[in-house]
Amino acid sequence: MELFEEVEVEAHVYPTEDTEKVKRAMLNLVPELEFEAFEREEYTVLIGKTTSRKALQRLYELFRGQAILDTARSFLEDGYFGEEIILRVNKQAAYAGSVNFNEESPLGPITIIIRTRDPQGLMRWLAPRTRDGVPVE
């Protein structure tokens, strides 16, 4: 069984921001996104979607490389709604190639929506529970 069906990444792009830099921030978290943009009055909504099996590999690596598995697991569990898991991360940190769950920013967060029929299995793979920093699942 596949871990997920689709990953959607969304961010608002304000007039003071460079759309290409916001795309880069999104791609630093989830590669192989296909983008659409929707103009609103005060900003552009940038949405990237992918069904690539490699879509979550970068988050997998970042969670381990930054040693934030427990924090990531907590945010995954908090964002779990039926067959969707929603994460919000800091846009500037994503542009720098890291994950920061502090979404407080005047420019807004990057929202990652993972659609899955097996949310528990996905969470076990992406951010397993740990003991003394070592995965136990």
CA dihedral 23, 24, 25, 29 (to 10 degrees): 100
- Helix, strand, coil % (nearest 5) of the chain? 30, 30, 40
The domain spans of the chain are 6-129
Distance CA 117, CA 100 (A): 26
DSSP state at residue 116: -
Strand partners, 84: 81, 115
Give pLDDT, residue 131.
Answer: 79
Q: What pLDDT sits at residue 105?
A: 78
Helix or strand holding residue 135 (H, E) = strand 134-135
Q: How much is the pLDDT for 137?
A: 67
- The whole-number pLDDT of residue 88 equals 95
Q: Under a CB-based contact definition with an 8 Å cutoff, are residues 70 and 56 in contact?
A: no
Give the pLDDT confidence score for residue 132 in this predicted structure.
Answer: 73
How far apart CA 84 and CA 4 sit, in angstroms, is 9
Per-residue pLDDT of the chain (137 residues; tens, 9 = 90+): 578 999 999 999 999 999 999 999 999 999 999 999 999 999 999 999 999 989 999 999 999 999 999 999 999 999 999 999 999 999 999 999 999 997 677 889 999 999 999 999 999 999 998 877 677 76
The CATH number given to 6-129 is 3.30.1440.10
